[in-house]
Structures are given as structure tokens and as C-alpha cells.
Amino acid sequence: MASGWGERFAETRYRFMRVSRATGDETEVIRCLKGGSITRNDDTRIKESAEASLVESYDFGPDLVRVHMSVRTVSGATMDAVLGTFLPVVPSVDISGARHTHSLKMYGRLQELLDDKFSRPYTVEQGSDAVAVAAKICTDAGLEVIAEGSDYRTTNVRYYGVGASQSNSETDDSKLGAVNDLLDLAGFRGAHTDAMGRVVLERYRDPADIQTSWDFSEGPSARFEMDMSEEYDYTSAANHVVVRYGGDGDTEAIVAEAWDTDPNSPLSTASRGRTITRAYSYTDLPEGKTDADRRDYASKRAATLLKTAQSVIRRVTMTTAYTPTGINDTVNIEYPTGGVSGKFQIRTQRLSLLGGCPTEVECRQFRRRS
């Protein structure tokens, strides 16, 4: 747990800084922006957005907006947190008679990759480092990148962009679609941005293997409100997975299946009385030097995907004081009075830029069949 952030806040202030697109430096305080909120959602493509009240007109030019929060705790400690770096795009006006309220909508920097497309087919050659190519697409678009290394190399030529054949993937023709497709091949999670607006490329990790970022514990120093909601969702849990490696018409395609037919499993074909299939198709061949190696890899991949597809999602929604956490982080919740306990992963956050930054958080826990 980050030192100091667990204390009660005595004073909280927010400031909006203009960030030069050319240099990345903060150049001035934007005094006409007040209040607002920041929304983070791991299930959306650009992951984050924000809005704030705009008290007078302001020319943002090509530059960005960075949101800071400064805190003084009851013990006198002072801290500063960067809450996000955004692309200002949509000034709007709410009209009620003669009263006009102006606001500014802002998007995370992945919006720049979503808006941008290759004007002609972009080719990724066989044997390319998929993550390195994804990073280059981002840097060529003017974004800073933090990327983990990867040993994965593409096994087929891939094409992206306007006019490219989409048979190689499920992606669209945006640069963000290309980046995320390449990351998926390498076993990485989708691209996301950190608070400074840098694009982060990192491996997918099972939530159980991610070190917790915060402990929410019941008691006098609790950082959450006692009222929360809880639900369980197993409607889309599968009991059959099909994995296919190979392009359309490829006679050497490798297909693997995994089934749950165990009558003792509440999600199995026997228990539910029907088959619920998830299908995954890849044009790149699976890893392995021989066909036997590749079939073995495909079978293991199908089994892993079935395990993931059998997750019963437990969701807990609560309101907390600000904590230095983000989407995809894991947290511990210990709330004995409410019967909520365990390790959860953050899916969404909505930070209100007022007071102590009250944050609506949806956490989820994947309960998989053992």
C-alpha cells in the first residue's frame, strides 16, 4: 500500500495542466477548467475519458490536458498524484433558458490510434516481433511507449489498414485495432495508457498472479463506504471451446477442442443440459517445431481458454476515497459485516474531482471451476 494515501485527507486540490504535444512538458495551468470526473473502463477500447466544467473559452490547440490532485493529510503530509493525461476534443453547452453551462469532454490518448488508419495496407512480415511492431505503430503515431519484451514471432504475413484483407484477424482498420491484434497474438493484454499518457504494452496475467495494490479493510480507517452491491454472473460461461489455427481453406489447419462434461461441474454440458461453445480462430500457426508440438500447444491452449471461459463473475460495486489504483489492478476487500472478502480485480472507476476524490469502483472476481 502506498505510504500516506491511507490517511484521512484534510485538504484536496485539483489542477489542470496544459501539456505540449511537441515536447511533453507541462507549460501552464489551465485555470478555466473546474471540477468534473474521470472515467476508467477496462472493457472499452480507449480505456479512459474525462470531463470538466469550462468557465470560459480556451484555445487548446494541438496540446493535451493533464489532471493533478494535491493532498494534505490530517498528519500534515503532502502528496501529489497525476490522475490522467487526455486529449481535449468536445466542448459542449447545456442550455436552460438564459443559463448556459459549458463543459469539456476529454479522451484517453488511445483515441489517437483509434482515429488514425493506414492509408494503404500495412504489412507485418512473417517472423516479426509482434510486440515490437505494435510499439512502433504507437511511436510512429507520436505516442510514448512502455513495453515488456516478448519472444513471440508471427508465423504468417499479416495485413492491416484501409483495403487490407481482414481474414487474418477480427480487427478493424484502425491503428489501435492493429496494435491490439498483434498484442493478442503475443499473449499480451490490450494496450492501455498510464497517468502520463504513455501507452503500456504488457503481458496478460491471471488476476490471481497479480500483486495486490490496495487493502480495503473494515474498521475505523476504512477507505470505503459500507453500502455496496454484489452480483454473480455465469450466463456466458462456456462448457465447450474450439480453437482453430490456420487460414481459410488451409488443409493443414490445426483444430483443438476442450469440453466440460463432468456431471459434478455446475457448468458442464451434463449439468446445464446444453452446449455453450466459445470459438477462437487464428491464422498464425501455434508454437512448436513439429505438427505434434503444435497440436499439443493447441490442445493446451483450448484447455486454458475453457478454464477462462468458465469463469463465474462476482462483481462488487462500492464507493471509496481516492486510492492510487487503476483498472486491472487487484485489491483485497475485507468487509466481514457485509460478507464480502477476497481478492478482486478493478474493472471500472469513476473519480469525482471534488473533495477527497470519491471514486465509484466496480471490482470483479473470477471464480473458475477447479
237 vs 313, 317, 326, CA distance in Å?
9, 21, 26
For residue 171, pLDDT over 80 is answered with no
pLDDT tens column, 60-92:
999 999 999 999 999 999 999 999 999 998 665
Give the count of beta carbons closer than 10 Å to the beta carbon of residue 32.
15
Secondary structure (3-state) at 193: strand
Alpha carbon distance 92, 47 (integer Å): 22
pLDDT of residue 245: 86
Place of cell 479493510: 217
pLDDT digits (tens, 9 = 90+) for 290-323: 888 888 888 988 988 888 788 778 899 999 999 9
Q: In sequence order, what are the beta bridge partners of 154?
A: none
SS3 368: coil
Share of the chain above pLDDT 70, in %: 90
Give the pLDDT of residue 21: 95
Dist. CA 191–CA 110, nearest whole Å: 8
- Per-residue cell: 340: 464480502
Q: Is the pLDDT reported for residue 188 higher than 80?
A: yes
Q: Which of 60-64, 89-93, 133-137, 168-172 has the lowest mean pLDDT?
A: 168-172
Contacts of 72 (CB under 8 A, 6+ apart): 9, 10, 11, 12, 78
Lowest mean pLDDT: which of 108-112, 131-135, 249-253? 249-253
pLDDT at 162: 76
Task: Report whether pLDDT(247) > 70.
Answer: no
pLDDT confidence band for 102 (50 / 70 / 90):
confident
Mean pLDDT, the chain, rounded, equals 89
How many of the other CB atoms lie within 10 Å of CB of 308? 15
Cβ contact 15:68 at 8 Å: yes
pLDDT category of residue 93 using cuts at 50, 70 and 90: low
Tell me what pLDDT residue 370 has.
47
CA angle 176, 171, 65 (to 5 degrees): 20
Q: Is residue 96 predicted with pLDDT exceeding 70?
A: no
Identify which of 332, 338, 329 has the alpha carbon closest to the alpha carbon of residue 225: 338
* Phi, psi for residue 135 in degrees, rounded to 5: -65, -40
Rounded-to-10 torsion of CA 267, 268, 272, 278: 80
In whole angstroms, what is the distance from residue 267 CA to residue 104 CA?
46
Note the pLDDT of residue 208.
84
